Amino acid sequence: MIPPDHPRYRSLMTRERLAAAARDGVLAMEGLTAHGRGEAFDYLIGERTTGSALLAERTAAALLLSARHPVISVNGNTAALAAPEIAALQKASGAIVEVNLFHRTEERVRLIEELLTRAGVEVFSGTAERLLPLSHDRAWCRRDGMYAADVILVPLEDGDRCEALVKMNKTVIAIDLNPLSRTARAASITIVDELTRAVPEIARACRELDVGERERLVSRLDNHYLLAEAIREITLRLRACSG
């Protein structure tokens, strides 16, 4: 029992939620350690959406809205943490939502698709094929879904697939609290923010941006700048805490 007045209530409840999702088979056990790494980086950015993250979120919205075939890729952590937020983003952006897993079993795909559907997501399912140039199971996707995407949002990604998607000339939007990760470096744009803060901000921007603002954001996209700013904001915070 976690008392609501505990200073880390939200964080502890999130852990409980993920532990339950792991017991239910939605979350891979490895997803718990991935979350722990994310928590550590969230401390470093001050558990808030930084200025550079907000710019990245608005640019991500502009990319999704300008896309011919936008896709949101969902894994176990994303489904366990943010299924209703993904439903709202799908509504605001018009993107396809497809499940893609690193620790893939047919049973996990089914459980995650069911969880998303219950949250109001229109899931793009059907027969998956081994289409991406990867030796692990993230290679499995749908020909008319992820494989055909021009813009793809990949929350909590592993670097391999991110690199492969960029090589396939797709615009890859990563959400990753670690600005030093291979994913963060390989993506076309990286949002260094916590998933449950980032997804609603992208959805909000999708509802707000006019065409002129979209074009301006896309034309100024610079991932090196965004990552450098994220690292600078962490450095400033560390300096303030140590001072």
Rounded to whole angstroms, the Cα distance separating 54 from 9 reads 25
Query: Can you point out the beta strands (E) in the chain?
Result: 70-74, 96-99, 129-130, 140-141, 151-155, 171-175, 189-191
8 A C-beta contact, residue 81 and residue 18: yes
Q: Dihedral of CA 22/146/152/87: which sign?
A: negative
Query: Can you point out the beta strands (E) in 31-150?
Result: 70-74, 96-99, 129-130, 140-141
Residue nearest to ligand PTJ (CB): 38
For ligand PTJ, the binding residue among 63, 101, 116, 205 (CB under 6 A) is: 101
What part of residues 113-152 is at the interface with ligand PTJ (CB under 6 A)? none
Smallest gap from Cβ 222 to ligand PTJ, in A, equals 21
| 175 lies in the site for ligand PTJ, by CB under 6 A | yes
Say whether 204 sits in a helix, a strand or coil: helix
Binding part of the chain for ligand PTJ, among 52-60, 74-82, 204-212, 224-232 by CB under 6 A, reads 74-82
Smallest gap from Cβ 192 to ligand PTJ, in A, equals 8
For ligand PTJ, the binding residue among 77, 171, 190, 223 (CB under 6 A) is: 77
| Footprint of ligand PTJ (CB under 6 A) | 28, 30-31, 34-35, 37-38, 41, 75-77, 81, 101-103, 156, 158, 175-178, 181, 194-195
